[in-house]
Amino acid sequence: MRRGLIIILSSPSGAGKSTLSDRLRAWDENIVFSVSATTREPREGEVNGREYFFKSRENFLQMVDNHEMLEHAEVFGNLYGSPQEPVAKAIENGQDVLFDIDWQGGQQIRNSALGKYALSLFILPPSIAELERRLKSRAKDNENVIENRMAMARDEISHWPEYDYVLINNDLDKTENDLKTIVSAERLKLSQQPKIVDDVRQLNNEFENK
């Protein structure tokens, strides 16, 4: 038995964060994505509690005031955030919760009531030229969007010292293996193993009864 981790994965767009998130979840089904809350209207086929927790603006802001959100932000007029309760329950059940978020969201989580369970990792590109090449090779965005993403990347990268671990994603397979190694080691930390106290007590009892 162990406590779960809050795994925070951040990077500038194009550095490989989403691919690494998918690989991490494929590696261990005990790692789940956090389900966010939002004030936007549900889209066709979306189910409350699966894609998002759909909230009224009033209800969402009340949750913020009550410190029930680990992090939140407003995007294009809609509020998005991570409810604290389901994450806390997952941690107590030994389940790791993955957050694929920017540095601002990561900072809010680390400063929250559950921040002591957070493992934060920042993914860097091997070079700015390679970052731009990756963004262009995806063929998802037009030139203006790519320019905006490159402009944002400089500010995002400047926050790397705030993280527990920083990985340079020069080789995707190697970065994936490094990520798995870090998660495996963090799971073994004494703070993540509440049952260890009982195990040590049992060893001491064996000494006394010998």
In the chain the domains, ranked by start, together with CATH numbers, are 6-208 (3.40.50.300)
Backbone angle region of 85, left / alpha / beta, with phi > 0 → left and psi within -120 to 50 → alpha: alpha
| pLDDT (tens place) for every residue of the chain, 210 residues total | 899 999 999 999 889 898 999 999 999 999 999 899 999 999 899 999 888 999 999 999 999 999 999 999 998 899 999 999 999 999 999 999 999 889 999 999 999 999 999 999 999 999 999 999 988 887 677 888 888 889 889 999 999 999 999 999 999 999 999 999 999 999 999 989 988 989 999 999 998 887
The predicted model scores a pTM of 0.87
Closest CA to 57 of 36, 69, 32, 40: 40
What is the helix (H) or strand (E) element at residue 168, kind and residue range? strand 165-168
